[in-house]
């Protein structure tokens, strides 16, 4: 099962912003879902 993390990004600058900011400004922000890779185990 793949795990996802949601990140909010400003559509104007491309920088990451807080999720609370994205909820207040839905026209200028995008919430992205990125897949999280499992940590590698040492051999």
- DSSP code per residue over 2-13: -EEEEEEEETTT
Regarding beta strands 16-17 and 3-10, do their DSSP bridges make them parallel or antiparallel, or are they unpaired? Answer: antiparallel
Give the mean model confidence (pLDDT) for residues 9-36: 94
Q: What pLDDT, on the 0 to 100 scale, is given for residue 12?
A: 95
Whether the Cβ atoms of residue 29 and residue 6 lie closer than 8 Å to each other: no
Q: What pLDDT, on the 0 to 100 scale, is given for residue 40?
A: 86
Give the mean model confidence (pLDDT) for residues 16-35: 94
Which among 9, 3, 43 has a CA at the least distance from the CA of 26? Answer: 9
CA distance linking residue 26 with residue 43, whole number of Å: 45
Q: What pLDDT, on the 0 to 100 scale, is given for residue 43?
A: 80
> How many CB atoms are located within 10 Å of the residue 22 CB?
19
Q: Across the chain, what does the average pLDDT equal?
A: 91
């Amino acid at each position: 099962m793949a795990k996802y993390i949601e990140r909010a990004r400003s559509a104007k600058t491309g920088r990451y912003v807080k999720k609370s900011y994205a909820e207040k400004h839905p026209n200028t922000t995008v919430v992205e879902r990125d897949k999280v890779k499992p940590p590698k185990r040492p051999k």
